[in-house]
């Protein structure tokens, strides 16, 4: 190897060695502690972007660090390969989604390999492989048997551009998460997973995940949206029917003066009186037509219509007019709300607009509210009034008391309501996992029998772009016979949401080639849970909630014994350039290929790790990349410069060390300690790299006054630099390590330990403050006695002027740090 740093040569060499030796292939090994490190697998969109480079660089540092520490590290990679873009590309290029996808995978795999990432490529999988999705069909059918997968007619989110259904989690601000089109509402017969059955456990377990960022947990808790309250029945006047409401405020029941129903409420039309019928129909029509986006906005004017019907307040027996209101949501609670205008702001505004009665049932402590003069609802805590036997109670106590009373009287019952809805997984698209059922006119929905699995996605679909699901037009796929009655039947043409595949891929990585089922239980037990998961914050509710749900389902189906899939989660920040997220439209994209071509993968990795801590956004700077490259070149030169002198250096003779050499050795061991802690405890790679840079500076400074008898110290210093850099810039470090005369690789050499004794300072700096202001610094022995330190501080000549004419009130001593003299 030459003395000039040539990343291309170095990187090609080591990538070949790693590939030839299968260096990162792992098998279960009971003798070592396991570490399962996973980055969210990419969608094969065509080529990798800087976000990938950052994500996978972060992961690779941890993988290599843990490996050097002696862990048996599982570090797999694969492809989230089903999805819309492949289908769109097929239409555009008159090709096939499979071709596009597998070509992209091949190209992107090559790109990842040029980054020198330490994956066990033997475990690679793509979710569009038959060998993957066939097992998912088996899981689906088992979920179907348990009622966890079901089909029903329901209102769904429909993306007109993607021509498919979206789950609630996939609608952002009323728009499609992928293409940003405005989402419409449609009534469709579609498949769902009963994630709501796991709502409570999914919520509870967020409190068992200390290794997750709090904000992700909070987002999941909000999404699950548990609220405790009551269901209460209100009899409709002059009829047998009842309206059921959900409320978290049973304490306000005596103040309920009218009723609000969602426009889509099933009773809406039948309640309408003859005279109101026209108005009610017009209102329902208007609400249905108003788009979801606007309807959700809080500043939307509250509107409603009187149905002409009344119900009875079960506690006061007062007649309550029944309204339809645009702010009541059918999906939440029972789609009906008891309106308490005095204690709910929405009801207050509604009552004012339609001139409905107000009745105060809670007063603020020591005050009396007058409905005639109220300008807003009173929603905080207070004392019960106008509520019969509950008068005088704190309203917080009355919640419980009234709820108990309602239960006793059979009027209502305590319930828990969740905001979480079941996960709609039907997608009216071709490039996905076919839902393995058959629709028979006689037998209804019939699951595909185990012997007929898998349902293979047919390759002869046509991608015309003319709308509709291409799969539904493949006659040979659609037409089949009913497994139950044998009659002619039609195969289901909906495919599964691609988030289904990403909900269990981390489990499949434990036994990616297993043919006995989706998962090899022993292997899963050996590797799971994922010790460290790394990915973008954008999946805080989507993928990360689905994956938790799926893990629990697979546990309950007997496939594994894991409750939570990801022990620790790191959400890395975005890559920003010129103040905006990198995107084609902004023209601020940095192409990883060009970067690697010019500087090498190690520089690209180093910069993306050095510029910011992983969880923060990273501000890309071309000049910063130059700086990282310069640093590596400097280390390279340093090694070759000292190589002839240190080649035959022996071990450091610690007893004989003194002066600068001893200081250098102290710096070496302090750096090892700091880098180990920064990487291990905090993932603060930026400060770890900064510490190595400082050490390099120290070695260079030392070298300028190099004394030949200190070659052993220099060798130790240089070798430590190389070893500490190994997780960050692996090709670079391996090359220098071998140049330094080592036959074993850095992985085999392991992570350096430090000599605690060598880190002990001979002298320390004690800061002297007067009234908290820095006035002097003392250089003293580390074990200086308190009195000696104080005396030295008081006697210091820089301190003296500040003491003149004043009296010393107090002297504070913080051992080894400072003396603060308080004067007045």
Give, to the nearest 10 degrees, the angle between helix 622-646 and helix 685-704: 50
Q: Considering only residues 528-567, where is the footprint of RNA by CB under 7 A? A: 537, 540-541
Q: Tell me which of 50, 167, 320, 337 binds RNA, using CB under 7 A.
A: 337
What are the distances in angstroms from CA 313 to CA 7, 26, 189, 244? 79, 68, 37, 12
Q: Please say whether the beta carbons of 639 and 718 come within 8 A.
A: yes
Helix (H) / strand (E) element for 154: namely: strand 149-159
Number of residues that bind RNA (CB under 7 A): 90
What mask, x for binding RNA by CB under 7 A, covers residues 101 to 120? --------------------
Q: Considering only residues 401-440, where is the footprint of RNA by CB under 7 A? A: 417, 419
Cβ of residue 705: shortest distance to RNA, in angstroms? 11
Q: Considering only residues 166-205, where is the footprint of RNA by CB under 7 A? A: 172
Nearer to RNA, 330 or 478 (CB): 330
Q: Tell me which of 274, 297, 594, 655 binds RNA, using CB under 7 A.
A: 297
Span from 87-95, 144-152, 393-401, 813-821 in contact with RNA (CB under 7 A): 813-821
Q: What are 74's strand-pairing partners?
A: 36
Q: Considering only residues 674-713, where is the footprint of RNA by CB under 7 A? A: 674, 677-678, 681-682, 684, 686-687, 689-690, 693-694, 697, 700-701, 704
Closest CA to 184 of 216, 156, 162: 156
Encoding tokens for residue 614?
């992983």
Question: What's the rounded Cα separation, in Å, for the pair 216 and 221?
Answer: 9
Cβ of residue 100: shortest distance to RNA, in angstroms? 29
Give the angle subtended at the CA of 807 by the CAs of 805 and 811, to the nearest 5°.
135
Pair type for strands 426-427 and 495-496: antiparallel
Q: Please say whether the beta carbons of 293 and 372 come within 8 A.
A: no
Q: Considering only residues 754-773, where is the footprint of RNA by CB under 7 A? A: 765, 767, 769, 771-773
What mask, x for binding RNA by CB under 7 A, covers residues 714 to 753? ----------------------------------------
Cβ of residue 332: shortest distance to RNA, in angstroms? 4
What is the total residue count of the chain?
Answer: 824
Cβ of residue 207: shortest distance to RNA, in angstroms? 15
Question: What's the rounded Cα separation, in Å, for the pair 545 and 550?
Answer: 9
What mask, x for binding RNA by CB under 7 A, covers residues 249 to 268? x------------x------
Under DSSP, the state recorded for 614 is T
Q: Does 338 bind RNA (CB under 7 A)?
A: yes
Q: Which distant-in-sequence residues (6+ apart) come within 8 Å of 466 by Cβ?
A: none
Cβ of residue 49: shortest distance to RNA, in angstroms? 19
Encoding tokens for residue 68?
């050097």
Cβ of residue 818: shortest distance to RNA, in angstroms? 5
Nearer to RNA, 31 or 375 (CB): 375
Cβ of residue 43: shortest distance to RNA, in angstroms? 19
Question: What's the rounded Cα separation, in Å, for the pair 447 and 434?
Answer: 12
Span from 183-191, 267-275, 325-333, 515-523 in contact with RNA (CB under 7 A): 325-333
Nearer to RNA, 114 or 676 (CB): 676
Under DSSP, the state recorded for 151 is E
Q: Tell me which of 179, 218, 760, 788 binds RNA, using CB under 7 A.
A: 218
Q: Cis omega before residue 454 (within 30°)?
A: yes
Span from 50-58, 246-254, 641-649, 731-739 in contact with RNA (CB under 7 A): 246-254
Q: Which distant-in-sequence residues (6+ apart) come within 8 Å of 453 by Cβ?
A: 134, 137, 138, 141, 436
Cβ of residue 749: shortest distance to RNA, in angstroms? 24
Q: Which distant-in-sequence residues (6+ apart) come within 8 Å of 743 by Cβ?
A: none
Q: Tell me which of 113, 178, 242, 302 binds RNA, using CB under 7 A.
A: 302
Span from 331-339, 398-406, 475-483, 484-492 in contact with RNA (CB under 7 A): 331-339
Phi, psi of 113 (to 5 degrees): -65, -35
Give, to the nearest 10 degrees, the angle between helix 685-704 and helix 659-677: 170
Cβ of residue 12: shortest distance to RNA, in angstroms? 22
Span from 107-115, 217-225, 433-441, 736-744 in contact with RNA (CB under 7 A): 217-225
Span from 95-103, 351-359, 480-488, 807-815 in contact with RNA (CB under 7 A): 807-815
370 three-state secondary structure: coil
Q: Residue holding tokens 């998961």?
A: 533
Q: Please say whether the beta carbons of 250 and 399 come within 8 A.
A: yes
Q: Considering only residues 612-631, where is the footprint of RNA by CB under 7 A? A: 612-613, 616-619, 621-624, 626-628, 630-631
């Amino acid at each position: 190897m030459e003395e000039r740093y040539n990343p291309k040569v170095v990187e090609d060499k080591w990538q070949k060695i790693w590939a030839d030796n299968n260096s990162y292939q792992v098998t279960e090994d009971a003798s070592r502690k396991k570490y399962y490190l996973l980055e969210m697998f990419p969608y094969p969109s065509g080529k990798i972007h800087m976000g990938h480079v950052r994500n996978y660089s972060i992961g690779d540092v941890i993988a290599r660090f843990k490996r050097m520490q002696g862990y048996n590290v599982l570090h797999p990679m694969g492809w989230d390969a089903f999805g819309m873009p492949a289908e769109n590309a097929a239409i555009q290029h008159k090709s096939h989604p499979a071709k596009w996808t597998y070509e992209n995978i091949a190209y992107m795999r090559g790109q990842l390999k040029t980054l020198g990432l330490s994956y066990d490529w033997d475990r690679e999988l793509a979710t569009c492989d038959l060998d993957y999705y066939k097992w998912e069909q088996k899981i689906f059918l088992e979920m179907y048997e348990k009622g966890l997968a079901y089909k029903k007619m329901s209102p769904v989110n429909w993306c007109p551009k993607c021509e498919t259904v979206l789950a609630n989690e996939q609608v952002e601000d009323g728009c499609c998460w992928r293409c940003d089109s405005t989402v419409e509402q449609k009534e469709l017969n579609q498949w769902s997973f009963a994630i709501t059955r796991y709502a409570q456990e999914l919520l509870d377990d967020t409190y068992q995940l200390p290794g997750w960022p709090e904000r992700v947990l909070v987002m999941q808790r909000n999404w699950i949206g548990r609220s405790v309250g009551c269901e209460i029945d209100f009899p409709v006047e002059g009829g047998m029917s009842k309206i059921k409401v959900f409320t978290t405020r049973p304490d306000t029941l005596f103040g309920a003066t009218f009723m609000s129903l969602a426009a889509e409420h099933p009773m809406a039309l039948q309640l309408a009186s003859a005279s109101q019928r026209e108005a009610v129909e017009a209102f329902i029509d208007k609400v249905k037509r108003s788009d979801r986006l606007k309807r959700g906005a809080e500043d939307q004017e509250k509107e409603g219509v009187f149905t002409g019907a009344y119900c009875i307040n079960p506690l006061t027996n007062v007649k309550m007019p029944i309204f339809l209101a645009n702010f009541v949501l059918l999906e939440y609670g029972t789609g009906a709300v008891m309106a308490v205008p005095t204690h709910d702001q929405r009801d207050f505004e509604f009552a004012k607009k339609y001139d409905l009665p107000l009745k105060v049932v809670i007063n603020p402590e020591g005050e009396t509210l007058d409905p005639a003069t109220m300008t807003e609802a009173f929603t905080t805590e207070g004392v019960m009034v106008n509520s019969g036997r509950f008068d005088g109670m704190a309203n917080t106590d009355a919640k419980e008391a009234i709820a108990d009373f309602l239960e006793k009287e059979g009027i209502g019952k305590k319930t828990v309501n969740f905001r979480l809805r079941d996960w709609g997984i039907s997608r009216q698209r071709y490039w996905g996992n076919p839902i393995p059922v058959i629709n028979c006119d006689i037998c209804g929905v019939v699951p595909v029998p185990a012997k007929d699995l898998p349902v293979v996605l047919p390759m002869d679909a046509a991608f015309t772009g003319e709308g509709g699901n291409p799969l539904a037009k493949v006659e040979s796929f659609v037409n089949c016979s009913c497994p139950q009655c044998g009659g002619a039947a039609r195969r289901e043409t909906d495919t599964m949401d691609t988030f289904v595949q990403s909900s269990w891929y981390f489990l499949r990585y434990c036994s990616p080639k297993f043919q006995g089922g989706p998962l090899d239980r022993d292997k899963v037990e050996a590797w799971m849970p994922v010790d460290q998961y790394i990915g973008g914050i954008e999946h805080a509710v989507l993928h990360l909630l689905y994956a938790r749900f799926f893990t629990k389902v697979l546990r309950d189906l007997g496939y594994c014994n894991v409750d939570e899939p990801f022990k620790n989660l790191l959400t890395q920040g975005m890559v920003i350039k010129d103040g905006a997220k990198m995107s084609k439209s902004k023209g601020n994209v940095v192409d990883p290929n060009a970067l690697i071509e010019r500087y090498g993968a190690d520089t690209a990795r180093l910069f993306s790790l050095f510029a910011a801590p992983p969880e923060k956004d990273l501000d890309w700077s071309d000049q910063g990349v130059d700086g990282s490259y310069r640093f590596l070149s400097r280390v390279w030169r340093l090694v070759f410069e000292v190589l002839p002198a240190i080649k035959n250096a022996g071990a450091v003779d610690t007893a004989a060390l003194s002066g600068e050499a001893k200081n250098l050795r102290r710096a070496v061991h302090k750096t090892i300690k700091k880098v180990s802690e920064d990487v291990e405890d905090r993932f603060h790679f930026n400060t770890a790299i900064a510490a190595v840079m400082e050490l390099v500076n120290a070695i260079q400074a030392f070298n300028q006054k190099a004394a030949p008898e200190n070659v052993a110290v220099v060798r130790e210093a240089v070798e430590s630099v190389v070893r500490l850099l190994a997780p960050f810039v692996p090709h670079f470090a391996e090359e220098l390590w071998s140049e330094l005369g080592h036959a074993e690789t850095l992985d085999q050499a392991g992570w350096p330990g430090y000599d605690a004794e060598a880190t002990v300072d001979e002298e320390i700096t004690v800061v002297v403050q007067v009234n908290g202001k820095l006035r002097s610094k003392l250089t003293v022995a580390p074990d200086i006695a308190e009195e000696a330190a104080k005396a030295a501080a008081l006697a210091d000549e820089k301190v003296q002027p500040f003491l003149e004419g004043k009296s010393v009130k107090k002297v504070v001593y913080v051992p080894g740090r400072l003396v603060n003299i308080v004067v007045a």
